């Protein structure tokens, strides 16, 4: 479905529900739209099931923009190319601990598991980046093992340190900057997720694996323990 939503924005919806094949399809469609090289294209915002296209309303009107996008979307739909586009694999080191993950203990008892089980299950799965938003470089990844899924905190923290790794329902993410936030925090990643020059480390469609590291390795890689 392609819909003009404002004077310079079009929303393309590929599916009604989230599924694991979508990030690769959506990233692929975004690439195709970008490589068409249309002079009217301003921005592409991929998300879980949708792709928002921002265009220059001086170069093209909404009817023309929709009709130029339609063949690309139709092509994508008919091919439904199973993600042969495997997506980049990014490994993110995490120092899982009660020291860097103030909710680790709570989550373990909430799930009836040991802290080690939470760590093992969180780092056993390969995640997909479904969307970016909330803050620069903040990547929403899924899906977390259902036995360690937990809702957001009822009252968000005023300060979540940069690098914090959190869980919210079946999603997981790393906070790129220190900011307020309500996700359940289980550890911290020393790798910068957003850099003012190279921008976001993660893109929609990427595959991500978390690797448990020691306190020493965390510090050696530049991690900070400030609460």
Partner 1 sequence: MSFLEVVRPGVQSTVQDSGRRGYRHHGLAAGGALDLISYTWANKLLDNPRNAACLEIVLGGFRAIAHGALQVALTGARTRVTVNRQTVDLWQTLNLNDGDELTIDHSTHHRLVYLAVVGGLDAPEQFGSRSVVVREKLEGRSPVQAGDRLMPLQPKRKVPERKVPDHQRPNLDGEAVIRLIPGYQYPQFQRADIIRLTTSRYTVGDQSDRMGFRLQGAPLSSPPPGIISEGIALGAVQIPGDGQPIVLLNDCQTIGGYPKPGVVPAVDCGLLAQQLPGASVRFELCDLATAQNQRRLFELHYQHTRWCRSGQELEWL
Instruction: Find the part of the chain contacting partner 1 (CB under 8 A) among 72-80, 86-94, 130-138, 210-218.
Output: 130-138
Checking DSSP bridges between strand 139-142 and strand 157-160, what pairing results, if any? unpaired
**Cβ-contact 130, 169 below 8 angstroms:** no
CB closer to partner 1 out of 113 and 135: 135
Q: Which of 194, 207, 208, 223 binds partner 1 (CB under 8 A)?
A: 194
Burial class from Cβ neighbours inside 10 Å (0-12, 13-18, 19+) for residue 38 reads middle
Min dist CB 67 to partner 1, Å, is: 15
CB contact set of 5 (below 8 Å; sequence gap of 6+): 11, 52
Min dist CB 55 to partner 1, Å, is: 11
Min dist CB 91 to partner 1, Å, is: 20
CA dist., res. 206 & res. 227, Å (int): 29
Min dist CB 54 to partner 1, Å, is: 7
**Cβ-contact 56, 72 below 8 angstroms:** no
Both ends of the chain: CA-CA distance in Å? 46
Q: Which of 33, 107, 132, 165 binds partner 1 (CB under 8 A)?
A: 132
Q: Is 69 among the residues that bind partner 1 (CB under 8 A)? A: no
CB closer to partner 1 out of 108 and 141: 141
CB closer to partner 1 out of 31 and 91: 31
**Cβ-contact 40, 65 below 8 angstroms:** yes
Strands (E), 79-156: 89-96, 127-132, 139-142
Here's the x/- map for partner 1, 45-64, by CB under 8 A: it reads as: xxxxxxxx-x--xx--xx--
Total site size for partner 1, rule CB under 8 A: 48
Q: Which residues bind partner 1 (CB under 8 A)?
A: 1, 3-9, 11, 13, 17-18, 30, 42-52, 54, 57-58, 61-62, 131-140, 176-177, 179, 194, 196, 199-200, 203-204
């Amino acid at each position: 479905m392609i819909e003009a939503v404002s004077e310079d924005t079009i929303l393309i919806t590929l599916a009604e529900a989230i599924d694991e094949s979508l990030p690769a399809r959506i990233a692929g469609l975004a690439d195709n739209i970008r490589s068409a090289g249309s002079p009217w294209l301003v921005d592409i915002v991929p998300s879980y099931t949708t792709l928002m296209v921002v265009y220059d309303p001086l170069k093209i009107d909404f009817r023309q923009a929709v009709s130029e996008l339609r063949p690309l979307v139709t092509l994508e739909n008919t091919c439904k190319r199973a993600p042969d586009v495997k997506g980049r694999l990014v490994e993110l080191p995490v120092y899982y601990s009660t020291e860097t993950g103030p909710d680790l203990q709570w989550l373990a008892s909430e799930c009836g598991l040991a802290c080690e089980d939470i760590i093992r299950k969180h780092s056993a799965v390969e995640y997909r980046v479904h969307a970016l938003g909330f803050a620069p470089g903040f990547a929403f990844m899924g899906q977390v093992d259902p036995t360690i899924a937990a809702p957001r905190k009822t009252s968000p923290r005023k300060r979540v340190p940069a690098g914090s790794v959190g869980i919210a329902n079946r999603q997981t993410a790393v906070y790129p900057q220190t900011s307020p936030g309500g996700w359940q925090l289980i550890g911290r990643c020393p790798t910068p997720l957003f850099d003012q020059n190279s921008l976001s480390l993660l893109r929609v469609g990427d595959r991500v694996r978390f690797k448990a590291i020691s306190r020493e390795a965390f510090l050696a890689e530049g991690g900070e323990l400030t609460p």
